[in-house]
Structure 1
Amino acid sequence: MITEDTPFVPEDDTYHRASEDPYEFETNWWSFNISERRIGGWLHAGYHTNRDQVIWRVFVWDANGADPGRLAYYRRAPDVPMPADADLRDITFPQGGFSVKMLRPLMDYHVAYADRDAGFAVEFEHRSVHPPFRFTPGQAPMLDNPHLDQLGHLTGELTLRGERIPIDCFSVRDRTWGPRGGPHAQSRKASHLRGEHTVRNPGGPRWREIERQRGRGRIEYIFGHTGAQTGFLGFVRPQDGDAQGWSPMNVGWLLRDGRFERLDPAGSRMRNFRDPATGWNAHMLVDLADVTGRTMQAEGFTVSHMCEHATGSNALMRWEYDGQIGWGEDQDGWKPDHFTAMLSALRATR
């Protein structure tokens, strides 16, 4: 039986063919930031393992624009054929995608991508500062899918419109595999099938109440770190929040004095404040507690956004905690009709 303490093994560095489900999907995600330039970046690939197709994306954002047409760089290649024997330990994704090379099993990797026509390139080494954390199947939001998160020290270089910019940051990579999409993306609850979206704790501002509607597929993921010594990561559960706007964080870690411990869901929560013009998060308060009793309070501000799907955003976050400044992200995921309802309430004048 797999538990949260079951270690990953070197074979987990490559792809899994866990079932014959046509919706089997395995992700490979890398993030980086250049805080002094308010730059955030992703390299992401999702492999439909039983269809031998991959969708890969590379994007970089800054404070000058958030949608794909205004990003510092954006490229997306959907439904690209990929060989069935693809090995994630040493791969270049087809049709001009990025490359990944494992340097030390489960810990260290080289990642690179270039688009010479656009004067763009990114190359870095991700040197992990701890073994990958497992978040056990059965815990929302992963539920049916194994998931790992891992903090690393990234060093390398970004070339943006021909300018060479050093990368030296601490950021996160993650992996998830298992069925995703189709019936696996829909709630099977009778209330959801009827189009009803209840609120566990009614009250408070209307926009917050809409954000707490259940069965909507909301997901939120936040993290921030100051080197390898201090920081946090957690999944937020807006569906289980209270009328005052505090949402619990059910899985994640607290890092203090170089020691990682799992979050205690009973003492970990986030309260967000949204920009009424965009609907995106602008400011956050976070209370953290781990399973050993250590606590931390963090306050964060978004400094730049990437909005790929015209709803929520991926934001570069500036955090303060323990008298330190840290950097990370807020990934604020919505379904379009849910986001539209929330934003309408946030903008209401009567």
Structure 2
Amino acid sequence: MDQADPYAFMPADDCYHELSDDPYETETNWWSFNIPARKIGCWLHTPYFPNRKTVTWRVFVWDNSGIDPVRMAYYRKAEEVPMEDGLDLRDITFPGGGYSLKMLEPGMKYHLKYDDPQRDFALDFVFTGCQPPHRAQPGEPPFMQSPHYDQLGRVVGTMTLRGEVIPIDSYSVRDRTWGPRGGPHNASPKKYESDLARVRNPGGPRWREIERERGRGRIQYIFGHAAGDDGFLGFVRPADGDASGWSPMNAGYVLRDGEFATLDKSKCRMRSYRDPQTGWCSHMEVELVDLKGRVMRAEGHAVSRMSEAGYGTNQLMRWEFDGKIGWGEDQDVWRGDHFERMLRALKAWK
């Protein structure tokens, strides 16, 4: 861990941070893994609301059998569960039946467990970082002020699904964020005369114009890795995209031969293709250049997906880059009313 870097991960970052009295202060921990042979993706996610003294935790698994919480392989969410003061994120079991998290090595190694015997479901795995956490610099969307870091790691353990014990051996990402979120912090301060006035670069298909409307909270978070030494991660900014469908990227990295380098945001872009019936992203192209000048081109297809509310999705992605096959995610974030307008335009027949 580089102590000279002001944005380097510090051991204290494994703990909950001292935050303001803003009622929308939120501090998250998120863990993911995948089992490609079963088309499975998994999340464990817990935002903590310190000034409300509550947490909302989620554990879910999806495959290609169903996308909504009722049909997913496993889904459980506990909202606004009371949280005691003084709990230590380095060794915690989230209240209300949540998962346990124990730090084994600062910033690098963690043990997570979860058990739901009534549904024959359990998780028991260790996350080991492939590198120290990669922190986004402040002022970069979508985290203009809130500190945020990502970390690639190897996830090894077991998942019990419907009583079947399934081995886990996956390279995937975790992240942490802290700062005000939700409520007024989600609202754009800008005012627009019309929906079209929100579009920075008009033209192209109407559904793509709607997708590019500013002030809608649109973001796509994508990553893919082939083992622990090759891959990429980046945030896509659709609102800054062009009429041909290419959107710029920032706040990520290229990983090649075990060497990480930050994205050159002036040269990175992504173009997605959406299913005209569902509106969900089915296929994408990614062009990346890092600050070392290394170029990576990736093409990905959605293998399975989940959607809690019917619009935004988390997808297991199969990626090809550098002659390799990698696995990861596309997190496609939408507001419901915005997605509905885009989908209507995508389905229009005259």
**TM norm structure 2:** 0.97
- Deviations along 1:106-153, one digit per CA (max 9) or x if unpaired, are 110001111000000111100001000111221100112000000000
Pairing 1:62-81 to 2, within 5 Å after superposition: 62-81=63-82
Which SS does the other structure have where 2:192 is aligned?
helix
Q: C-alpha distance in 1, partners of 2:263/2:308? A: 30
What's the CA shift for 1:228? 1.2
C-alpha RMSD of the superposition? 1.5
Q: Which residue does the alignment assign to 1:131? A: 132
Q: Structure 1 281/161 Cα, relative in aligned 2: closer, same or farther at 3 Å?
A: same
Structure 2: distance between partners of 1:309 and 1:108: 33
Q: Distance in 2 between matches of 1:242 and 1:158?
A: 42
Mapping of residues 336-347 of structure 1, within 5 Å: 336-347=336-347
Shift of 1:259: 0.3
1:48/1:75 CA distance change after superposition, 3 Å: same
Structure-1 separation of matches of 2:277 and 2:303: 15
Residues paired across the two proteins, number: 348
* Structure 1 segment 1-350 matched on structure 2, within 5 A: 6-191=7-192, 198-350=198-350
SS in structure 2 of the partner of residue 265 of structure 1: coil
Instruction: Supply the AA of the counterpart residue of 1:164.
Output: V
Q: CA–CA distance in 1 between the matches of 2:184 and 2:12?
A: 29
TM-score, normalised by the number of residues in structure 1: 0.97
Change (3 A) 1:191 1:106: same
Q: Percent identity?
A: 61
3-state SS of 1:69 partner: coil
1:211 & 1:243 partners in 2: Cα distance?
A: 11
Which segments of 5 or more consecutive residues in structure 2 lack a partner in the other structure? none
Please report how far the alpha carbon of residue 312 of structure 1 lies from its aligned counterpart in structure 2 after TM superposition.
1.8
Q: CA–CA distance in 1 between the matches of 2:268 and 2:195?
A: 31
Q: CA deviation at 1:330?
A: 0.1
* Letter of the structure 2 residue corresponding to residue 157 of structure 1: T
Displacement after TM superposition at 1:195 (Å): 7.1
Q: 1:284 to 1:196 in 2, by over 3 A?
A: closer
User: Contact (CA 8 Å) 1:4, 1:135: kept in 2 or not?
Assistant: no
Determine helix, strand or coil for the equivalent of 1:340: helix
Deviation at 1:251, TM superposition (A): 1.4
4+ runs of 1 displaced by more than 3 Å? 194-197
- Work out the CA distance in 2 between the residues paired with 1:266 and 1:86: 42
Letter in 1 for 2:315: A
Amino acid at match of 2:221: Y
Asked whether the equivalents of residues 196 and 213 of structure 2 are also in contact (C-alpha less than 8 Å), the reply is no
CA distance in 2, matches of 1:211, 1:178: 27
